[in-house]
Amino acid sequence: MTRTAPTTFERRRRRSDSVAVAMIKIWAFTAIVILIVIIGYIVFKGMVSQSLQESQIIPTFSTPDQSLVVIANKKSGFHSMPYDVLRQFFDGRSFSLRRITHVNEDVKLFYETGLKSDISEYLMLDEKSFQRSEASQLSASEVLKHVSANPGGIGLISKETALPSNVVKLQLEDVVLAVHPSVTELLGNIKLSKIDQQAIKPLFNGEYTNWKELQGQDLSIVVVTSLSEVRQIPGSVALVPYREAFLAQSERLQVLSSQTRRNFTLRYIFEKPVEMGKYGGISTIIGNTLLMVFVTLLFSVPLGVGSAVFMVEFRANKRLLSIARTGVDLLAGVPSIIFGLFGLLVFVQLAGWSFSLLSGSMTLALMVLPTIIRTSEEALLSVSPSLKEASVALGATKWETIIKVLLPAASPGIVTGIILAIGRAVGETAALIYTIGSGVDFASGPLSSARVLAMHIFLTITEGQRMDRAFASAMVLVFLVLFINILARLSARRLIRNGTN
Amino acid sequence: MKKVILAVMILTILSPLGAAGSRETVAQTPVEIYTFGGSSTVAPIVNGALTSFLADHKDVKITYETLGSSTGIKQLQEGTLSLAGSSRELKSSELQAGLKPIVIALDGLSVAVNRNVPIANLSMAELAGIFSGEIVNWKSVGGPDAKIEVIVRDETSGTYASFKEIVLDPTKKQYKKDAIVARENGELATKIAATPNAIGYIGMAFNHIVEEAGGHILTIDQVVPTSDNVVNKSYPISRSLYMVSIGDLQPSIELDFINYLLSSRGQAIVAENDFIPLP
Amino acid sequence: MIQTIGQALGRREKNQSIRKGLDATAAKLLLLTALVSLLAVVLISLFIMAQSIPFFSEVPLRQFLFSTQWAPSANYPTYGIFSFIVTSIIVTLLALAFSTPIALSTAIYLSEFAQGKMASLLRQSIELLAGIPSIIYGLFGIAVVVPLVRNTLGGNGYSLLSASLILAIMILPTIINVSEVSIRAVSRELREASVAMGATRWQTIKGVVLPAAKSGIVSSIILGIGRAVGETTAVLLVGGNAPIFPTSAISMGRTLTMNIITDMSYAEGTHMSALFATGILLFAFILVLNLIVVSVSRKSRLESER
């Protein structure tokens, strides 16, 4: 057939064809894009945390000519030292870092000999404060040594020197925004009390002229430079050292700032949870997850593989076979919340096992049963009949054939199915929420309440704990699922390789 | 190998069948397991107290499941829990069924708003109007022109019931239907902080969650929600927190725990968690 | 004990009767295990039905299914789940609308244009998507989807739309897998005949392959519906959970599953039976879906064998 030049019709057809094909390709790769976005986001938020903070002390602002140098152990989690926090510690009012840097340690305070009077004056303390806070007076080099040795160590020295590698110098932030009382007055349900950190520079540059623009009253902004002016001029604001403002009992505005920090650390996996998971790590929770998987498999694998063997080997009774198969199909379609409902009523209440590892695992075992049965059945069916015939020819009974020949031959497929079931179990929440309980300790027996990883993420979100922790745990769960996924793929590959032998 | 697995499996199946009921000792381990549960408001107190209580009672393991007041009471009746925490009063039907409430602390309910809401104070009447849906825009109470997003607890919550009793019932109002529902104090606090124009109520002890997330707490009738103002009754929205048992408690771990909660150490834990110790 | 029997079995010259006996017991044991699955389904169904029967004798079916008043704790309790049914339907339909184009394109791409590395990368991504737990989707939903909906469409972000977007991603693997299998199964002769008649690739796909794979694609969509309707955790976190009748895609809502999980721990008496009745409704609905899938695939198998 001779080739002629393409007609317009031809060209149009080919163009619409390539457009259609291009559309298909674009749509198809959206799946990959979605996956990357989801996993990428979880990992990003797991590694990096952004938190909002509100305080009187303005971050990054310090008065000049400070006589004290603040140093701290890196493990304490401080990146700067606000005046009010330092005072809290040295006044003996607070000992734990938990609420402040979310590190589960207590502070240990040290200061250089000769600085006591400076500290008392600067931080407005008296002798009782020093006794309460148990701060230790040492030589400068000793201070360095002790701060380095204590994860919660904080020290005050007189001048900057070379520091050990795990100790940092912190900027001592001690400036506040003092305002005239008219600015923070309650008028018609409105009362200005805070300002965004980003708004401070524009405020002092004159870009804002009225407090209304900052969610306050209709009042002109007057930028001044001293505390005495602030006290006299309505609408005025100044940057003032905290001490001055505090002593004069001047009105102050809170500052809202956001901080970006490292979120997930390897410690997280190995530390135990503290205060029901509010602080600390997730070591016992991971342990509970593994335990739950083990118990679930303990019940579901023998039952599942046994059912599959039956359905494959004893097919004589056709009716029974089809009933069994319908049963499996039905079970596979039941939503997880129904399993949860069933588990709550039967295992938790009726059997009296309460919220426990056993209740949760039994519920999950029922849920993953169809998966195991189906994959095992497929694996068993794919074993070549000649293998079975050879075994029978050698005089083995049915049972022996099953145990010594069939199961080993089908094991890669069965194992793949088990791995898939593990993946499902690890990610389940709805069926476990009212069966497995929420105790954070490592389960001491099958009847103790055991929080697992997916549940922990759910509880972290709903209990209003910091979202950073939810993301860190989520990152761990995602990696766990990825790992299980890779295992399953390797196992399936081994199956194919064995099959071709 | 497979035979060993089979044998182990049979043993494991048989063992828990002999341990029906959460109070009996699990085979071959000496630790007794108890489960308490209920209000999420009471949870921080109980968990704090359990940490020190269990340090002195090494042969016992107690967990507190955060389920919500009504759930806790129901599971107490079902026998799944042996003590329940409640942040609301017991209904007459529950009292008739023999449940006994024991007051362990006082609590105030704070009202919080998202940080984009410049309002700092509301009156009780305005509060009732907002939560019943009569007031729908912030401008009606002196704020910007924006729809008010109301966030409430779910029905199982004692906080839900207490708030209704104190704020809505006196004016015979009902909760509005289209409010966002949060299942726990913490979730409510996070939702308030994350949803622009939102308003919601939480137990006072959870104030810091809202504030850490950027929201702020309102004064009601110009009174600040603090422990002192709750005790001297100037802050209008306050309530008692309870532990509930079935009937009067006989000498048992439950009774020991209640006594611990009511002791000075227990009440110190109450104060540490920003609740109000019994006067 | 079992090990000694095994050793005895090794000596085939003796103990033939023991071996035969073991064989018989083994058969019975396996029968037992097989019946356990069946038993589980029967028990679950019976249990749910038994728990919901008292409800149906107290509350008329019409009120249950068609009333929008869900007020189990009011002084005169009402148990109307119509709002939840409508929410579930809207959320599922929207999820299908978002997910089907992507799923079908992916299935077509994998079976028609797949080439080595790209194809296997795509397949692995889909497998991975299928394995991600629903709580992770929920977390992503709260952190990304809800603010997105809030900032672009207004409202507070917790909405039917947010829920359906998340569900759409979750049911992608389901639809892709089954569709791909049936598209692949379309016989080569059919395709070659189409090309021989001068059709372009797209025309072949649109006019020949897709219609031939129609029953498989429909099955996959139905399976997707089943999965979407049964999802609880992810929608709970982004749907707003307000028990109201949804008036738009950005209004909050509560699906049937959300209702069960929110109330189930504290409900009692008629309220609890109402939840079980809801459970039966879900159960029955998914059952019907599965039966449709089975009969559709059986019909197509019979047809292709002709």
How far is Cα C257 from Cα A340, in angstroms, rounded to an integer?
Answer: 11
Which residues does A483 contact at the CB level (< 8 Å), separation at least 6?
A: none
Question: What DSSP character marks residue A464?
Answer: T
Distance (Å, whole) CA B76 – CA B70 = 10
CATH 1.10.3720.10 given to domain C70-305: yes
Residue A95 sits at the vertex; the CA angle it makes with A91 and A99, to the nearest 5 degrees, is 115
Choose the closest CB to C242 out of B3, B74, B178.
B178
Q: Find the residue in C nearest to A421 (Cα).
A: C131
Chain C CB contacts of A344 below 8 Å: 264-265
Q: Which candidate, A69, A72, A253, places its Cα nearest to that of A158?
A: A69
- Rounded CA-CA distance C271/C253 in Å is 20
Which of C73, C240, C268 minimises the CB distance to B74?
Answer: C268
Q: Which chains touch A (3 or more CB pairs under 8 A)?
A: B, C
Cα–Cα distances in angstroms (integers) from residue A452 to residues A283, A288, C142, C297, in the given order: 11, 6, 21, 39
Report which secondary-structure segment, H or E, holds A256.
strand A251-262
Q: Is the CB of residue A380 less than 8 Å away from at least one CB of chain B?
A: no
In our burial notation (b when 16+ CB lie closer than 10 A, e otherwise), range C88-97 reads: bebbbebbbe
Tell me if chain B has a CB within 8 Å of the CB of A349: yes
Query: Residue B26 — pLDDT band, cuts 50, 70, 90?
Result: very low
| Spatial separation of the C-alpha atoms in residues A332 and B239, rounded to whole Å | 47
Q: Of A173, A202, A234, which residue constitutes the final position of a domain?
A: A173
The two three-digit tokens of residue A452, written as one number: 């697992």
Calculate mean pLDDT across residues C219-232.
90
Q: Looking at beta carbons, which residues of chain B come within 8 Å of A52?
A: 212-214
Structure tokens at B65: 């499941």
> How large is the C-alpha radius of gyration of chain C?
25
Cα A498 from chain centroid? 41
* CB C42 within 8 Å of CB A315: no
Q: Are residues A375 and A475 in the same domain?
A: yes
Does C270 contact chain B (CB < 8 Å)?
Answer: no
Expressed as residue numbers, the domain containing A470 is: 268-499
Interface check A399 vs B, CB under 8 A: no
Average pLDDT rounded to a whole number, residues A5-22 = 81
Domain match, A359 and A487 both: yes
Could you say which DSSP state residue B249 is in? Answer: P
Give all chains having 3 or more CB-to-CB distances under 8 Å with chain C.
A, B
> Which residue of B48, B65, B79 is in closest CB contact with A352?
B79
| 3-state SS class at A278 | coil
Nearest-CB residue to B149 (from C156, C266, C267): C156
Between chains, do A306 and C32 touch, taking CB under 8 Å as contact? Answer: yes
User: What are the CB-based long-range contacts (under 8 Å, 24+) for C7-11?
Assistant: C9/A400
CB atoms < 10 A from the CB of C297, how many? 16
Spatial distance between the Cα atoms of C299 and C304, rounded to a whole number of angstroms: 9
Q: What percent of chain B has pLDDT over 90?
A: 31
- Distance (Å) from the alpha carbon of A461 to chain B's nearest alpha carbon: 7
Does one domain contain both A146 and A191?
Answer: no
**Domain for residue A224, yes or no?**
yes
Q: In whole angstroms, give the CA distance from residue B213 to residue C190.
A: 62
C73 touches chain B (CB under 8 A): yes
Contact C125 A32 (CB under 8 A): yes
User: Around Cβ A162, how many Cβ atoms within 10 Å?
Assistant: 5
| Final residue belonging to a domain, choices A213, A230, A262 | A262
Cβ contact A488:A419 at 8 Å? yes
A319's CB contacts (< 8 A; 6+ apart) are none
Q: A51 contacts in B (CB within 8 Å)?
A: 212
Domains in chain B (CATH in brackets) are: 4-106+240-272 (3.40.190.10), 108-238 (3.40.190.10)
User: Could you say which of B47, B119, B186 has the minimum Cβ distance to residue A190?
Assistant: B119
Domain annotation covers residue A326: yes
Query: Per the CB < 8 Å rule, is B190 touching A358?
Result: no
In sequence order, what DSSP letters do the residues of B22-71 get, joined into one string?
A: TTSPPTT---EEEEEEE-TTTHHHHHHHHHHHHHH-TTEEEEEEE--HHH
**What does the DSSP assignment read for A420-446?**
HHHHHHHT--TTTTTTT----SPPSST
Q: Does one domain contain both A168 and A194? A: no
Q: Is there a contact between A465 and B186 if contact means CB atoms under 8 Å apart?
A: yes
Q: Contact, A401 vs C9, CB < 8 A? A: no
Identity at B55, one-letter amino acid code: A
Q: Is any Cβ of chain B less than 8 angstroms from the Cβ of C84? A: no
A343 and A490 housed in the same domain: yes
Q: State the Cα–Cα distance between residues B48 and B270, nearest whole angstrom.
A: 8
Q: Of A246, A262, A278, which residue is a domain's last?
A: A262
CA–CA separation, C5 and A131 (whole Å): 76
Q: Tens digit of pLDDT for each residue in A374-407?
A: 888 888 888 878 887 887 788 777 777 777 788 8
In this structure, are A257 and A358 located in the same domain?
no
**Do residues A233 and A301 both lie within one domain?**
no
| CB-based contact B68:A442 (threshold 8 Å) | no
Residue-level pLDDT at A2: 55
Q: What is the phi/psi pair of residue A273, to 5°?
A: -70, 145
The CA distance from B141 to the nearest CA of chain C, in Å, is: 20
On whether residue A60 sits in a domain, the answer given is no
Q: Which residues of B touch C2 (CB under 8 A)?
A: 3, 6-7
Domain count, chain A: 3
Could you tell me how many residues make up chain C? Answer: 306
- Indicate yes or no: CB of A275 within 8 angstroms of CB of B48: yes
**Which helix (DSSP H) or strand (DSSP E) does residue A109 occupy?**
strand A108-112
Nearest to C37 among A26, A307, A338 (CB): A307
In terms of domains, do A325 and A180 share one? Answer: no
Tens-place pLDDT, residues B201-258 = 998 888 888 887 778 899 999 898 888 888 888 898 988 999 999 988 888 899 999 9
**What is the least distance, in Å, from the CA of C197 to any CA of chain A?**
14
- If asked whether residues A295 and A195 sit together in one domain, one would say no
For position A171, what pLDDT does the model report? 92
CB nearest C244 (choices: B67, B178, B195) = B178
pLDDT at C9: 55
In this structure, what CATH number is given to the domain that contains residue A77?
Answer: 3.40.190.10
User: What stretch of H or E contains B246?
Assistant: strand B238-246
A134-148, pLDDT tens digit by residue? 889 999 899 999 999
Residue B225: how many other CB atoms lie within 10 Å: 21
Average pLDDT on B5-13 reads: 46
Mutate to test the interface with B, among C265, C270, C272 (most CBs of B within 10 A): C265
Residues forming a β-bridge with B85 = B38, B243
Inter-chain touch A474–C135, beta carbons under 8 Å: yes
pLDDT band at C12 (very low <50, low <70, confident <90, very high): low
DSSP-assigned beta bridge partners for residue B246: B99
Rounded distance, CA B106 to CA B7, Å? 54
Query: Using 50, 70 and 90 to split pLDDT, how confident is the model at C1?
Result: low
Q: What is the mean pLDDT of residues C54-75?
A: 84
pLDDT of A91 > 50? The answer is yes
C2, C11, C19, C30, best to mutate vs chain A, most A CBs in 10 Å:
C30
> What is the C-alpha to C-alpha distance for residues A129 and A125, in angstroms, rounded to an integer?
6
- Yes or no: say if A54 and B211 are a contact pair by the CB < 8 Å rule: yes
Tell me what the mean pLDDT of segment A343-372 comes to: 90
A214 lies in the same domain as A94: no
User: A-chain residues within 8 Å CB-CB of B26?
Assistant: 445-447
Question: Considering the entire predicted model, what is its pTM?
Answer: 0.84
Q: Do C135 and A20 touch (CB under 8 A)?
A: no
Across the A:B interface, residue pairs with CB atoms under 8 Å apart total 138
Give which of C266, C268, C271 to mutate to test B binding, by max B Cβ within 10 Å.
C266
- Indicate the residue of C23, C169, C229 with minimum beta-carbon distance to A399: C23
Q: Tell me the residue ranges of DSSP E strands in A44-95.
A: 48-55, 69-73, 81-82
Residues 6+ apart with CB under 8 A from C23: A397, A398, A399
Q: Are residues A182 and A117 in the same domain?
A: no
Backbone angles phi, psi at B83, to 5 degrees: -145, 140
DSSP alpha helices (H): ranges in C59-159? 61-66, 82-108, 116-131, 134-140, 146-153
* Gap from B71 CA to chain C (nearest CA, Å): 4
The average confidence (pLDDT) of chain A is 86
Residue in chain C lying closest to B6 (CA) = C2
Whether C49 and chain B come into contact, CB under 8 Å, resolves to: no
Give the ranges where B199-252 is alpha helix by DSSP (H).
207-212, 227-231
A447: in domain: yes
**Using CB atoms within 10 A of its CB, is residue A296 exposed (0-12), middle (13-18) or buried (19+)?**
buried
Neighbours of chain B (3+ CB pairs under 8 A): A, C
Residue of A nearest to B64 (CA): A439
Q: Is residue A30 part of a domain?
A: no
Minimal CA separation from A493 to chain C, in Å: 13
Q: Are C93 and C85 within 8 A, CB to CB?
A: no
Residue C14 has a pLDDT of 55
Mind telling me how many Å the CA of C4 is from chain A's nearest CA? 15
Query: Region B158-175: what's the mean pLDDT?
Result: 87
- Chain C residues with CB inside 8 Å of B7's CB? 2
Per-residue HEC secondary structure of B84-138 comes to EEECCCCCHHHHHCCEEEEEEEEEEEEEEECCCCCECEECHHHHHHHHHCCCCEH
How does residue B24 score in pLDDT terms, banded at 50, 70 and 90? very low
In the numeric block, the tokens 């590698």 are attached to A165
Separation in Å, CA of B226 to nearest CA in chain C: 31
Supply the DSSP string of C17-78, one letter for each residue. Answer: HHHHHHHHHHHHHHHHHHHHHHHHHHHHHHHHHHHHHHHHHHS-HHHHHH---EETTSSS-E
Residue C19 has pLDDT above 80, yes or no: no
Neighbours of B172 (CB within 10 A): 8
Look at chain A and count its residues: 501
Residue A361 and residue A348 share a domain: yes
Distance of CA C70 to the CA centre of its chain: 26
Calculate how close chain A gets to C77, using CA atoms only, in Å: 22
Residue A112 near residue A143 (C-beta atoms within 8 A): yes
Quick: pLDDT tens for C150-167: 889 877 788 999 999 999
Residue A245: inside a domain: yes
Kind plus residue range of the DSSP H or E element containing C162: helix C160-184
Chain B residues in contact with A466 by the CB 8 A cut-off are 212
Inform me whether the pLDDT recorded for B9 exceeds 80.
no
For residue C4, the model assigns a pLDDT of: 61
Residue among C19, C37, C117, C176 with most chain A CBs within 10 A, to mutate? C37
Band of residue A319 on the pLDDT scale cut at 50, 70, 90:
confident
